């Protein structure tokens, strides 16, 4: 019998690492200083996505689906796409916040419209805010393949909180 198990080592920033910088920076400044960092977030290393660009109300990631993201029926699990979309949505919201504010996801709606496999290749996920108020924000995101086709899209509602949260 052939061993079909693979191992993967994940390295990245410890959860809850040095977040003191978060309190003194706008969301956009905080995110922009993370571009190109090898320790953007532990979830990014686990799910193989990375930030490409942040502007006010915009977050762009590249994401590469791998075998470790597969479900039992031979395609990438919908949770992978949901995670990448949620990250773009949240970062789009965060990019609009002043210093001393953070967000948390209240609601996430994902539509998976096409199967994703390792053959799909590196994808682009773009999140944009729709509305940012004093207490809530909404955003939308699209996950696009290198073929230009839409593979999934999502919307979110986020709660805006003071940092550190009470």
Q: Kindly state whether residue 67 falls inside one of the protein's structural domains.
A: yes
d(CA 76, CA 86): 16
d(CA 93, CA 87): 10
**Parallel, antiparallel or unpaired: strands 150-162 and 136-144:** antiparallel
29-81 tens-digit pLDDT: 999 998 888 778 889 999 999 999 999 999 999 999 999 999 999 999 999 99
pLDDT at 4 (0 to 100): 60
Looking at per-residue pLDDT, the higher value among 24 and 39 belongs to 24
70-81 tens-digit pLDDT: 999 999 999 999
Q: Which residues pair with 113 in a beta bridge?
A: none
Q: Kindly state whether residue 11 falls inside one of the protein's structural domains.
A: no
Find the range with the poorest average confidence among 17-26, 90-99, 109-118. 17-26
Q: Kindly state whether residue 41 falls inside one of the protein's structural domains.
A: yes
Q: Kindly state whether residue 12 falls inside one of the protein's structural domains.
A: no
Question: Is 101 strand, coil or helix?
Answer: strand
d(CA 17, CA 42): 10
Q: Kindly state whether residue 99 falls inside one of the protein's structural domains.
A: yes
Q: Kindly state whether residue 74 falls inside one of the protein's structural domains.
A: yes
pLDDT at 2 (0 to 100): 46
pLDDT for 1 beyond 50: no
Mean residue pLDDT of the chain comes to: 90
Q: Which runs of consecutive H residues, i.e. helices, occur in 68-137?
A: 78-94
pTM: 0.90
The range of the structural domain enclosing residue 120 comes to 20-162
pLDDT at 23 (0 to 100): 79
Q: How many domains, the chain?
A: 1
pLDDT at 10 (0 to 100): 62
Look up residue 65 and give its two tokens. 């689906």
Which CATH number is 46's domain given?
A: 3.10.129.10
Q: Kindly state whether residue 118 falls inside one of the protein's structural domains.
A: yes
Average pLDDT over residues 129-156: 98
Q: Kindly state whether residue 9 falls inside one of the protein's structural domains.
A: no
């Amino acid at each position: 019998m052939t061993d079909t198990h693979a191992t993967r080592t994940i390295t990245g920033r410890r959860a809850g690492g040095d977040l003191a910088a978060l309190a003194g920076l706008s969301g956009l400044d905080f995110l922009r200083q993370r571009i190109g960092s090898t320790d953007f977030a532990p979830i990014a290393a686990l799910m193989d996505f990375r930030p490409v660009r942040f502007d006010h109300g915009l977050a762009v990631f590249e994401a590469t689906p791998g075998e470790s993201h597969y479900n039992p029926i031979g395609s990438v699990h919908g949770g992978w796409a949901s995670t990448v979309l949620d990250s773009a949505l949240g970062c789009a919201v965060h990019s609009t916040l002043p210093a001393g504010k953070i967000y948390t996801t209240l609601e996430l709606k994902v539509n998976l419209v096409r199967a994703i496999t390792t053959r799909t290749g590196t994808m682009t996920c773009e999140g944009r805010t729709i509305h940012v108020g004093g207490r809530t924000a909404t955003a939308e995101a699209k996950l696009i393949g290198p073929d230009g086709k839409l593979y999934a899209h999502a919307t979110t509602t986020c709660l805006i909180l003071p940092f550190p949260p009470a």
